[in-house]
Structure 1
Amino acid sequence: MKTSLDRYLLSRRRVLQGAGALSATALAGRSAWAAPSTALTFIGWQYQPQIASENVDTFKKLYDENVTYELVSGDYHPVVETKLTGGQHIDMMYSEEDHIARWHTADWTRDLDGLPDMDAIKAGMFPVSVTSLSLPDGKMMGLPYYAGHNAFIYDESQLTKAGVGVPDSSEALLDACRKLKKDGISDAPYNSAWGQKWSELSWSIFACWYAEGATVFNEANDLVPDAAFKKVLEFHRALYKEQLVAPDIMTMPDEGVPSYCTGRHTFMVLHDYDQKVANDPKLSKIAGKVKNALMPFKTHSTFAWTAAYVMGKQPVDVDRTWALLRFFGGKAKDGQYHVIKRWALEFGLGSGYREVMADPDIVASFSKWRDVETASKQLQLATSRKVAKMIWFSEWDLFMMQHVQDYIRGNGSTDELCDSLVKKVADLKTQYQ
């Protein structure tokens, strides 16, 4: 029998897990009165599809429009690429930031520069979101679906019991984990997403690399395995070797969130919106005890990302599609952030817009489950992953996760791992020339 937490997490965006969802036909909705005869086409992934459908209907009524919404189940990005390769027409679609440049290079999407109010829209975003949504040459490719970052959380009651303060360095974090385990307070004090999916080990280890001050990739998009880079790798290996993490951490479902909500762990690096889950008494056994702090590494930065709504290369009508894009990814013509505000209030998803994150309703809602000031400071310190715009990055990223997992388990030396990661970058660059 599924628990409330299982059902909640199953309903969230599970692009790679292939979770069941409503059919595209069921979500198509009705056409508005006097709407254009040619429908705009909108492709979406598996995050609250019934709400996405309701948002489509709101847009159709507000703009007197005609839109067909198609839900993609399963592995979203590859499925959409198959559709586009086969010639299917799509006016607007979701995209993670690491596919923005790839799809533009394939001539499947168009940039948004020059469209009405684009400069003002960009000016209202956090800089890290503008970077996420832009090509390396600065062209804006999408509007924000949501903006997130990897956050550091802890169970305050366990720290109090152990007499340990909130760690502010990797050394202090390791020492705290050792004491918590020795004192019998937690058998696996540290938890994180260490699986091989793009939103798991890739995101969590990049967050630690940036927090420690690692360059990771330079301006030429060459890997830089500097001292900070290696220190983070060795930190992960030490956690595993000393059994300060669960033995199955690399295969935990739902990015390790259900395990954390049991109260088994003290610390976790996780997607910022998941702190809402950890502090929900209907979903978590430790609700009210989970606090957030800055990433406990040298620079306290983290990895931040912004998912996007992007426009197809040849929309049936640019003005109509731009209105659809702005309704979902910004402010509608009535001055309301219909979609973005709903995601924030109901699910804790952050926004790329300063105005949205300063909205009193959202501030009050977020304050119930996290320290807003700390989260705001963490976002200001966050780093966007520019290298993700390289069309070869997704292949390197999977290679990296596979080999880092092996390394964490004790296979090979740090230098050997770094050499293999550097070589893979060089090989892929040559391949994609």
Structure 2
Amino acid sequence: MTRTAAPTTVPPTPVDPARWPDVARVPRTKLRAAVAGRLLRRVAHRRGLRVELPDGSVLVPAPPGAAVLRLHRPEAFLARVGATGLIGFGESYQAGDWDTPDLIGLLGVLATAPETLVPTGAQWLRRLYVQRPPAAELPTADNARRNIHHHYDLSNDLFGLFLDRTMTYSSAVFPTTPSGAPLATWDNLPEAQHRKIDRLLDLAAVGPGSRVLEIGTGWGELALRAAARGARVTSLTLSEEQLGHARLRIADAGLADRAEVRLCDYRSAEGQYDAVVSVEMIEAVGRPFWPEYFRTIDRVLAPGGRAALQAITMPHDRMIASSNTYTWILKYIFPGGLIPSVQAIDQATARHTRLRVAADHAYGPHYAETLRLWRERFTYRADEVDALGFDRVFRRTWELYLAYSEAGFRTGYLDVRQILLTREETAR
């Protein structure tokens, strides 16, 4: 190791053990911590990562401009990672055990080919720390509302701090340069969200008199724009916070005669609709329930109808590898979910419904830019997050979540797409 800077001392992040029990507790795992230390040295060497220690030294030589992992409490970091892998890596950030001057850059290094972080001959080590998702978080009809409440019912005021005035919590579609790169600014985000919604409504052929079912209301912007086209909209949500907010917005717009929001699980949808639209909701459905989700769409779609989905996707092999793994994102952000692959959507619709993918448009770089704007806004308004009663651990949790998601789209680990489903009317 070589000394490169003066030692720094960073006080621990205050952690409420009642609110954050696994962040407050540092595991006692000397052997696993030692293994984690060896793996960290290997990753730093192979990925050109600069790991800085509290005494000012670096773990291994790193090239100029390398991504930086700054360890404030190395023993706690290694104990957490050794005990629970990537969950421990996230909890270590929540606790303030490590930092970095460029969170996106660091996470991008780790998100590139993540399957190679652990050497092939040591893959058996995953059995030491990989957990299965808890049965209580499986998104059954009984559990789904609790899962949704965990994230979407935190506070409308919280989401209002970093979302734009449309209160749209999904990828926008920005104008692009001649090369196709998205041109994203805070000022053009509302217009970009409307562009996304309008493209989806066009894909579903929503117009005057259309009967529309929306699965997953959000805060109501899509229902508003569909109703403004003259459609009659029924929108389903399991979030009580979103329900109240969306109903109020619809009433204020004078569209209550055209748009109705119900507190209802998608499985209980009734009626016949010319169009079904659903924006980034399939990720919360859970793999065991994808057949039922698509069967519901097939059941309520009128003859000749169209279903338009916006979905985050990942490569199929990575989806399979992570489908029974309890991750940091599942534990702290989106319990019960799983991001599908395009292949999984094709398989689920082909095996269980008469629906078929008729169009598919991907635009992952736009989500990276959407997340950048949200992350910057969230960070800038940190004092206001505090004023709402959320502690520093919560802020670090959400900083990591937003940065982790952005890095996933920037590296291609994740994508987002608008998908058109139509029915084979003669299939039985």
Establish whether TM, by shorter chain, passes 0.5: no
**Bigger RCO of structures 1 and 2 (CA < 8 A, at least 6 apart):** 1
TM-score by length of 1: 0.31
Highest CA radius of gyration, 1 or 2? 2
